[in-house]
Amino acid sequence: MQPTRRRYIAMVSAVGGGAITGCLGGNTSGGDASNDATGPLDCTVGPIDRVSSLPTPTRGPDDAPVTVAAFEDFACPHCQTFTLEVAPKIVSNYVEQGDVRYQYFDFPIPVSEWSWRAASASRAIHDRIDDAAFFDFTTRVYEQQSELGTDGYQTVHDAASAVGADGCFAAASAKQEPYRPVIKESRQQGIDRGVDSTPTIFVNGNPVSRPDWSTVESAIEAELSWNKHNPELSVLIGGVDNDINRDQELTHGRVGSARGDRNSMI
């Protein structure tokens, strides 16, 4: 008998065994945001208004059959490994081919104060420029992760300048944390999905067992294979997986109904 989609994906995602290797929870509050206007750099930036909502940073087509959601902490060394070694392979092999829609979610454990501060700086780039600049900035910060604890403001300043953004505004955003409400909302989405360590990766709503390339690749291939052999269901199911991360655009009833239909099919 052919396995159901749920069993098939679960079997493939389990390849590699063991629990997710990652950074585990510490102080979940992350402390209070600073009220200082600027960091220690020679910058002149006044108080920045709080921002309560931003879209999820995304790369790839909205109608891709597979959505990969990554929950990460800028100060987590395992997230550095995932961002620099695994994410680029997802992009080159699947996002650029139109098969995957890749989303980044902030999930400050926090490992350090820079779990929040770097996230706020990254959202400043996202807010002021676009998704592409956000991902470029994110990569640059992870490349210099070891510098965050000793020279964090200069690190985010230089990374922002390199992607064409205002470095002083990025450093001030790290200091003032005006995007903390956005980051807290992103973190809450992770909590609601059962995230308790970083990086945690979901493929079409299913958490993978390990955040390494082999495991993530297998999960993506399993979803693509299932969609290929079940074209009459893939449009509905793929749409539900993509839409779940856009709750602001959907009513609770529509999402609940779609999830119910999907579960009855698989």
Domain containing 254: what range?
A: 230-266
Q: What is the pLDDT of residue 22?
A: 77
Residues 84 and 173 in one domain: yes
Residues 122 and 188 in one domain: yes
**15 inside domain:** no
DSSP the chain: -PPPHHHHHHHHHTTT-SPPPSEEP--SS--PPP--SS-SSS----PPPP----PPPEES-TT-SEEEEEEE-TT-HHHHHIIIIIHHHHIIIIITTTSEEEEEEE----SSTHHHHHHHHHHHHHHHS-HHHHHHHHHHHHHTGGGHHHHHHHHHHHHHHHTTS-HHHHHHHHHH-TTHHHHHHHHHHHHHTT--EESEEEETTEEPS--SHHHHHHHHHHHHHHHHH-HHHHHHHHHHHHHHT-GGGS-HHHHHHHHHHHHHH-
Q: What tens-digit pLDDT sequence spans the chain (266 residues)?
A: 444 554 444 444 444 444 446 787 654 444 444 435 545 677 888 899 999 999 999 999 999 999 999 999 999 999 999 999 999 999 999 999 999 999 999 999 999 999 999 999 999 999 999 999 999 999 999 999 999 999 999 999 999 999 999 999 999 999 999 999 999 999 999 999 999 999 999 999 999 999 999 999 999 999 999 988 887 665 555 544 454 444 433 333 333 333 333 333 33
Q: What is the pLDDT of residue 234?
A: 58
Distant-in-sequence, close-in-space partners of 134: CB < 8 Å, separation ≥ 6: 57, 104, 122, 123, 125, 126
Q: What is the pLDDT of residue 233?
A: 64
**79 inside domain:** yes
| Residue 169: CATH number of its domain | 3.40.30.10
**20 inside domain:** no
Residues 181 and 236 in one domain: no
Residues 246 and 198 in one domain: no
Residues 42 and 124 in one domain: yes
Residues 67 and 192 in one domain: yes
**19 inside domain:** no
Pair of tokens at residue 36: 């200082």
Verify cis geometry, omega within 30 degrees of 0, for the bond prior to 199: yes
**31 inside domain:** no
Residues 120 and 222 in one domain: yes
Residues 214 and 255 in one domain: no
**27 inside domain:** no
**26 inside domain:** no
Residues 203 and 155 in one domain: yes
Residues 93 and 134 in one domain: yes
Pair of tokens at residue 106: 């902030």
Q: What is the pLDDT of residue 141?
A: 98
Q: How many domains does the chain have?
A: 2
Residue 200 C-alpha from the chain's centroid: 9
Residues 126 and 105 in one domain: yes
Pair of tokens at residue 14: 């389990």
Residues 220 and 236 in one domain: no
Q: What is the pLDDT of residue 81?
A: 98
| Alpha-carbon distances of 207 from 11, 68, 89, 229, rounded to whole Å | 12, 10, 18, 22
**100 inside domain:** yes
